A and B are shown apart, each in its own frame.
Chain A
């Protein structure tokens, strides 16, 4: 099998980006879209072919999946051990991502042909989509943690450009800026973590870093800082970078605002791929997280994940903007993936959480992308993001309705849809390791079902408002991707994931824990039934409920005022009390001193310039008086 073909996987989107980017004024709609779709079709086919044959054919050797370095070359050379390499690593983790990223990106490329039709900047849109796809693929195929960091920044900038796609709108500009700066701040943590690794581990290479013997030597020689090994600190800081990208509390504030971007972008970047980069990063370094100092860093991952999943689910209950509901839902689901990694052990069945996390990453990408694309079709039809403007759409948008329902059932964990299997594995893993975290996940499963069906019923049932224009179903380019993703959301749960992905790279067997599964399905169904009660027919039950909760409802609705807190810190404290005084200090004190020196020179010369008057009698007088003074001094000295 010729794996050199893989080099095309990131390069084709890069080429498309350069082509569309350089000629963005010449290539017009819809040609740029066709170029983008054609490029992604080739990329997807190559990726699927490689990933599937890796899993089914050549990957497994002697019961263990191989880590294959397809290609690598040094990019920056620090020392002989410490260097940044660019390359392609093929292992189960990257192979899974080789299915997720191209598939979703491909669907979004096709979908956007319809969705973005007639919007200004069509070519720009496809250029950025390609840039994003290139960066994301480069990220997941990295051989070196610094390579991840590099592509990490690049996905950040593509996300920035796409959130700010409607750049004439002030809110979009602000959202884009916020997303970039918040994640950049998180990346500072990532960078410092890398610097610590550069010194204490002396390498950036993944194969070395995840080597168990190497980790033991690191454990043996670790220097401690504030009671923890420096390597643990490095991992926590790297996780900070991951938490920024994956919108974990308290670095999540950019994600809801990122919904200002076009909906296909939200589906691709802010639901299925980029936001799970943090999960991917932790999974990539999993042996380090697990073995360094008995997994203290991993514990942090678990609790941050668990808290975020609950926090986001609570907020999702109250939002009215359908994209924001989905954004908080994404946060909550990524929290699931993080907590699954956090509770995971290592080896065989112990590593269930790790496998479940990747499984959920996979299924979540399918149903969440589907939900966003469905939301896009809905917004396309009713020209509003708010559920108050919707209702009864099942008659108008039949395809969207059915696919949306499939996705909602999948995310609520109802068998036999995909989410049931992955969520069940997560809860089983959590139950084995930490009952508190399991309970959080269990409650959130119920809340998820409730807010998803709140959304579903409110959009598709409730009552028919007066639509100005009769909503109509989206064009084929949009509905076909919906149907494909719906197929995946319905059936991808049957993939025997533990045969492919595991902590120690050997397949193992899982079985469904019927007791736990029954409980979580039960609470899911309960959530759905509540939603039926509240939202199937128009009624004021929900308003009465909201009033009953009063202050708690208000806090939740306002996302617990975290945004305001950040705003206060940056605007009021940093800008006003640090940056402005610095600028003032520079103008008046530092520069003032320099000007002061200059001015005092001028002042002194002003004072003494009278001496050089040019009048002979003045000079004569100075001469005579000087001579007199000197002779008096001489006379005085001589007489003593």
Chain B
């Protein structure tokens, strides 16, 4: 069994084990065990990957494997990883692990809950390791479908509406994406050979410029919807608000990253001409997302909405970094993907923890929580500071790379966009501090005087995330090195 397929197999084994278990209180233990294995495997993968690179393997992807699974259309189960995917896999396993701790007390259909969560994550793993367009697409769909159930069944508030909206918008995006993928497929053999979905095979072909210009927006928008591209981001605030905590964490932390990753891996890599042609247009949408998300967050009253709009803003920075098309900005965009994943997951975890106690997420109904639940309060403040890009946390590293990279363009258009993007850090500070000032500080409220303190599983879940946030924030060189080495073959094509 190769090291990568295990990432799809272990979840299946975990699901089988969950099916077999009868005792309700063991479900979470089984799910946890499965994901501890998964997380350890992801660390091992990074280690193995670095060993492989150190031993002089300079292929774009390592640990590759290629098995045909649908010959008539030449679809392969083709897998492999580079530095970007190994870190993304680590992100996914850590966030799911933390999510399992946070949902330790789920008592409504726990077995089904954990199964859906695991199916979702195995889709994500599959997506990150494939390099066959069709296989990637299939894994992508596997990741999106369980979301409907998770929100529709375990959600809160107008959950049917939110689940429906989210699924329909993502499905619509998939349809657009599929057009783009099929476009690539049918142009993959210009001199009449076998058509292919293999990314690296397609990359060798000279795709006609007109084709690239036509299909680039399909792939970009198809992935952009899940990456909260303005104006297709509206599913995310409602979706997050209704989703249960672990799902919000996984969704904002990992699933939304598929967008930027797909754009980078497929749209930009395969259609360089299309990228240059469309970059400025999408850059405008990205910067609107950055500024607009931040400004809209100021006025929200629900904790989850604030975080959802904040995500729109921060993921806008990922797209912005990608569209700046240079090594530094790309590295920044990748780090931002990781960083936002951990930070937003921690944020959602904290919101879930607070909501579990106060039973409200409305900002004006809370005050002075720092006195009553100090540890939770402090962790929330730390998540907030990480979110507003304080040095020492991962967000700062990501943002600085993006800004410095973006500023290396010498024309006024890019300069203005960079400065606008940089100004979002002030707005972020405004909504984060407003939040901290209102709910954590101020006079404590009578009705919350007896809130219980943090539990061990909540603490474990959040500390895991905090650890990675500070790790990236204090050791950016190490992460930057892994990423920038893997970016080189991609940047060279543009």
Contact = CB atoms under 8 A, between A and B. Distances in A.
B235, B396, B404, B419 — most chain A CB neighbours (10 Å)? B404
Interface stretch (A59-67, A382-390, A429-437, A576-584): A576-584
A82 B480 CA distance: 14
B57 interface: no
Contact of A195 (B165, B292, B407, B480): B407
Contacts of B410: 199
B419 A575 contact: no
Nearest to B231: A590
A154 B442 contact: no
B422 A192 contact: yes
Given A76-B400, A76-B401, A195-B404, A184 B426 contact: yes
A228 B410 CA distance: 17
Nearest to B443: A168
B105 interface: no
Interface string A190-209: 01100110110000000000
Contact of A168 (B231, B434, B444): B444
Contacts of B434: 177
Interface in A94-112: none
Interface in A164-205: 164, 167-168, 170, 173-174, 176-177, 180-181, 184-185, 188, 191-192, 195-196, 198-199
B429 A181 contact: yes
A464 interface: no
A13 to B, nearest CB: 14
Contacts of B481: 77
A579 B299 contact: yes
A499 interface: no
Given A192-B422, A575-B298, A157 B385 contact: yes
Contacts of B212: none
B300 interface: yes
A640 interface: no
Residues of A in contact with B, size category:
35 or more
Nearest to A584: B299
Interface stretch (B30-38, B90-98, B368-376): B368-376
Nearest to B389: A153
B422 A579 contact: no
A586 interface: yes
Interface in B434-469: 434, 437, 440-444
Given A164-B441, A177-B433, A154 B391 contact: yes
A57 interface: no
Interface string B393-437: 000110011011101101000000011001101100110011001
A195 B481 CA distance: 22
B169 interface: yes
Contacts of A173: 437, 441-442
Nearest to A178: B433
Contacts of B183: none
A349 to B, nearest CB: 40
B477 A75 contact: yes
A582 B385 contact: no
25 contacts: A77-B481, A78-B405, A150-B396, A153-B391, A167-B441, A168-B442, A176-B433, A176-B437, A177-B433, A181-B430, A181-B433, A185-B426, A188-B423, A195-B403, A199-B407, A199-B410, A579-B295, A582-B292, A583-B300, A586-B292, A590-B233, A590-B234, A593-B231, A594-B165, A595-B165
Interface of B: 165, 168-169, 230-235, 292, 295-296, 298-300, 309, 328, 368, 370-371, 374-375, 385, 390-392, 396-397, 400-401, 403-405, 407-408, 410, 418-419, 422-423, 425-426, 429-430, 433-434, 437, 440-444, 476-477, 480-481, 484
